[in-house]
Structure 1
């Protein structure tokens, strides 16, 4: 049963609660994933937190991505954070909190491509001198 009235803030809170127990190493210590998800969700919460999760679509995801670019985040990190936002919705589908069509529509947003975005690039990794 889906929850058509769940807000993005409520969805994020439910996911982060899940991540506290799921994103752990074998010895029980937390991984960095919890922090990475929190960072990815900041612009999502700021721009659309009060919106219904069921109404989140590609245009809103692209606005979140643009906010990341405007914050000066490098292209590859923006792409990873957008994937984490999509993962949130994949998890929400599994929990029957949103319809699968929401998640599938977000999959249509392609990652930022090298040389075709104002997002900065990271410096290339060069070999270590012997």
Structure 2
């Protein structure tokens, strides 16, 4: 059986998806990286705001609120980025293809509709 955190996955399912353990390790790393970025971000922002409070005094609870909110947003972004990389890894292991994440190309509008035609192709009188 494969251990995924506190749960166990049946051997048949693990054999069906050979990249499951690699994906689980990648996800675990992504979540730990997000947690670490929250802790380090909050501590760093508190330190910066502590230095700024000498020149611009404001209540301490605002420093804490700003630090927690900003580090939460940063942590979410880091976790989302890393989780996307894990999803791409899972698709690569399962299908052998890297997913295309590029934005779709927009079709260029027609330059000329021709004489006597509207842009929808109707003939004008």
Q: Which has the higher contact order (CA 8 A, sep 6+)?
A: 1
Higher strand share: 2
Both proteins in one fold, TM over 0.5: no
TM-score (norm 1): 0.29
TM-score (norm 2): 0.30
Task: Report which of the two structures shows the higher radius of gyration computed on alpha carbons.
Answer: 2
